[in-house]
Amino acid sequence: MVLTTAESLAHLAVNPQERLEFVHNNLETALTHVRLNLPVSCMYEYYIKDGKIFCQGTELFIDPEERGGVYTEGLQKALSLAQQGGVVFFYSPPGPVVFDKNPENKYREIKKYKFGQLYLLWKEGDKFLNIAITTDRETDGLLKALFPECRDVEGIHNWFLQNQEDSVIEEIKRMILNPGVFEGSIEDFIDFIGTNFADQILYASDYSGKRYTGRDLSEMIRKSAAGESLLPEEYRYLVEIAQRYADYKTQISGGLSRDGILRAYLSVYSLSPEDLREIYGSCNNIETAVDDLLQRKIDSGFRLNLSGACGGGSFDLGSFFGSSFSPVESSFRSLQDIFTDTDRYGKREFDCPTCGNRIRRPYNKLVEVCPYCDKEIPRC
């Protein structure tokens, strides 16, 4: 699910400091979901202002090309329910990513999500907190406990991956658009999982092959809800190095470039704990050592084996520097909006014919009204 608006990304395109903060905030998420495929996500904060939804301080945009944009309506329903208390949950199953017939839909490269996402949402003060649990075939027991209509389905996870596409798409829509409510606090929900599924395996698809019990998941959700990192210690240093590296690329180029963002992401995608020991033992400064090591990996044809519920696969490291972004992770894919100056409608920047202010269109979208003078923009 893309968590940034085209308008906000357009602002990031001309605001280097905010662009850098955006990258900093997403590097740990990228490592958690795409590289390591841990079962519990970092915690996100939502709030509503002037009728608009914001996530982590940025106005929310959910790409309408990803599963037909049904996440938008599902999240709106979930937020409305969360206003009334309890822990709201809704499920985005594995299976097809594209719900339309558009051959240019960028998500066609992914074809299917291999894992599902169980979203938890609850209200705390004037904000909403959100944690996602990645699901695989081991999670069926928890899903049946939360969704009674699934109790007679043999192999929920496999059903979404193997059945006829049209029927699967309709069922995915139904699951996303019908959130449920757990009556109680997030602590009560954590205890529910830890007590009822204490020794039952609920997930077994992370980078290490570990099998997670309900007790394990409950502790991870508790840590995430407290704002603590879920990364193994050796990988926490990798996030710090990637953030320093992004700072370094910004400093030497006078702003964080497309190349700089790519290399910051690739550092968390490709560097290993063993690489960190080489970096720290280098005679060069850390940032230069990262640059050299990444370039050696690119030159040698190093392949990334990425998992993650947001898409994944095996990618040649050098292919990330092509003309388009590989569809690996939603916040990473959305960065194309920062750097792409043209789209299917032509140039994205133009001057308002009425007030003269410079406008940058959202990617592949037309602007009908000027955001500065509220006058209609005539179509050419």
Mean pLDDT of the chain: 82
pLDDT for 8 equals: 40
Share of the chain above pLDDT 70, in %: 83
* Cα separation, 28 vs 326, whole angstroms: 19
| 31 vs 109 pLDDT, higher one | 31
Model pLDDT, residue 7: 40
pLDDT at residue 54 in the model: 83
pLDDT band, residue 130 (cuts 50/70/90): very high
- Calculate what percentage of the chain has a pLDDT beyond 90: 36
pTM for the model stands at 0.78
Whether the per-residue pLDDT at 250 is higher than 50: the answer is yes
Domain boundaries along the sequence of the chain: 37-225, 233-339
pLDDT bin (cut points 50, 70, 90) of residue 159 is: very high
Instruction: Tell me the average pLDDT across 45-67.
Output: 82
**Whether the predicted pLDDT of 17 surpasses 50:** yes
Per-residue model confidence (pLDDT) at position 340: 57
* pLDDT at site 259: 72
Among the listed ranges 16-30, 193-207, 322-336, 359-373, which one has the minimum average pLDDT value?
322-336
Residue 337: the pLDDT is 54
Give pLDDT, residue 335.
52
Looking at residues 62-68, what average pLDDT do you find?
85
What's the per-residue H, E or C state across the chain?
A: CCCCCHHHHHHHHHCHHHHHHHHHHHHHHHHHHHHCCCCECCCEEEEEECCEEEECCEECCCCCCCHHHHHHHHHHHHHHHHCCCCEEEEEECCEECCCCCCCCCHHHHCCEECCEEEEEEEEECCEEEEEEEEECHHHHHHHHHHCHHHCCCCCHHHHHHHCCHHHHHHHHHHHHHCCEEECCCHHHHHHHHHHHCCCCEEECCCCCCCCEEHHHHHHHHHHHHCCCCCCCHHHHHHHHHHHHHHHHHHHHHCCCCHHHHHHHHHHHHHCCHHHHHHHHCCCCCHHHHHHHHHHHHHHCCCEEEECCCCCCEEEEHHHHHCCCCCCCCHHHHCCHHHHCCEECCEECEEECCCCCCEEECCCCCCCCECCCCCCECCCC
Whether 334 shows a pLDDT value over 60: the answer reads no
pLDDT value for 188: 97
